[in-house]
Amino acid sequence: RGLSAAEIKAVVEEDLLKREFLATADITREIYDESATFTDAIDTYTLDKWVKGTKALFVASGSKVRLVGDVEATDSAVTFKFDEDLQFNIPFKPVVKLTGTVILTRGADGLITSYLEKWDQTVPEVLSTARFY
């Protein structure tokens, strides 16, 4: 609570670069409101369901998340662009490639109240990049 734009930027950068949270769901939970919603190209989830689902869906060791440009942070939002290879935790362990933008909206207390992931590709385009290892 009450983190400055620079402080929350540093936390999100660390979650992204060191913990690859888009593929692992390893987030610094203290910067999120417990009622935060997580929306991607498929659906909207509660915080707990997003964490549980992301951890179950992807193979962290076979996925790679890259930051494109810088993390931008203000008192109202944190945004960044990403490029990632996601390995699914299903038979044949397919890997898909996608790029996009994440917008983290901050509430009045500075906590993140919503996560919006916008893909640069459509769902069928992402699925067409699947490679099997």
Please write the tens of the pLDDT for every residue from 53-74. Answer: 999 999 999 999 999 999 999 9
**Short-list 64, 59, 81, 61, CA closest to 12:** 81
Contact 21, 12 (CB under 8 A): no
For 8-55, what is each residue's pLDDT tens digit?
999 999 999 999 999 999 999 999 999 999 999 999 999 999 999 999
133 pLDDT above the threshold of 80: no
Q: Tell me, what's the pLDDT at 1?
A: 80
Contacts of 23 (CB under 8 A, 6+ apart): 54, 58, 60, 63, 64, 65, 84, 86
Whole-structure pTM value = 0.94
Distance CA 110, CA 86 (A): 30
- Report the alpha-carbon distance of residue 32 to residue 111 in Å, rounded: 5
